[in-house]
Amino acid sequence: MKRVVIAIVLLVAIITAGVLENVYVNKIFDRLDSSLREIENDIESSNGNALEKTSNLISWWESKRKYMELFIYSPDVRSFSVALGETEGSLMCDDFQNALSKIESLRIMSANIRRILDFNLEDII
């Protein structure tokens, strides 16, 4: 009986950790997607805020990436940082067309990373 209780407690702890991780990942990527949309809108409207928002996003992403990598390792998470840096570089050079293409790449990478890190039924089957 004692072993069954311990097994149930461990199972509940594992499920709880999985749910909390899923919530954390979704919260991060919702904010990330929102920030990418804002930067894209700023580039298209040429209001000059895109570079500052990109720099802020890079700082925010790097702080979150460090914690995410404690739980989950994905090379795509690190390559996302590189793509953000390329976007910032394009904005510094006033190459807005390239920056827009980088933003689109970042959106696709974000969706892919979310899919990899997120809990899916496909992962079980």
Let me know: does 39 contact 53? Beta carbons within 8 Å. Answer: yes
User: Which domain does 38 fall in, by range?
Assistant: 2-124
Could you report the per-residue pLDDT of 27-64, keeping only the tens digit for each?
999 999 999 999 999 999 888 889 999 999 999 999 98
Q: Two tokens at 50?
A: 């895109």
Helix (H) or strand (E) holding 52: helix 50-71
Give residue 102's pLDDT: 94
pTM attached to this predicted model:
0.81
Could you report the per-residue pLDDT of 66-76, keeping only the tens digit for each?
887 776 777 88
Nearest-Å Rg of the Cα atoms of the chain is 18
| Average pLDDT in the chain | 88
Closest of 32, 30, 54, 59 to residue 42, by C-alpha: 54
Give residue 91's pLDDT: 92
Let me know: does 99 contact 50? Beta carbons within 8 Å. Answer: yes
Q: What total number of domains does the chain contain?
A: 1
Q: Which residue has the higher pLDDT, 89 or 67?
A: 89
Let me know: does 19 contact 115? Beta carbons within 8 Å. Answer: no
Q: What percent of the chain has pLDDT over 70?
A: 94
Helix (H) or strand (E) holding 118: none
Closest of 125, 124, 114, 121 to residue 21, by C-alpha: 114
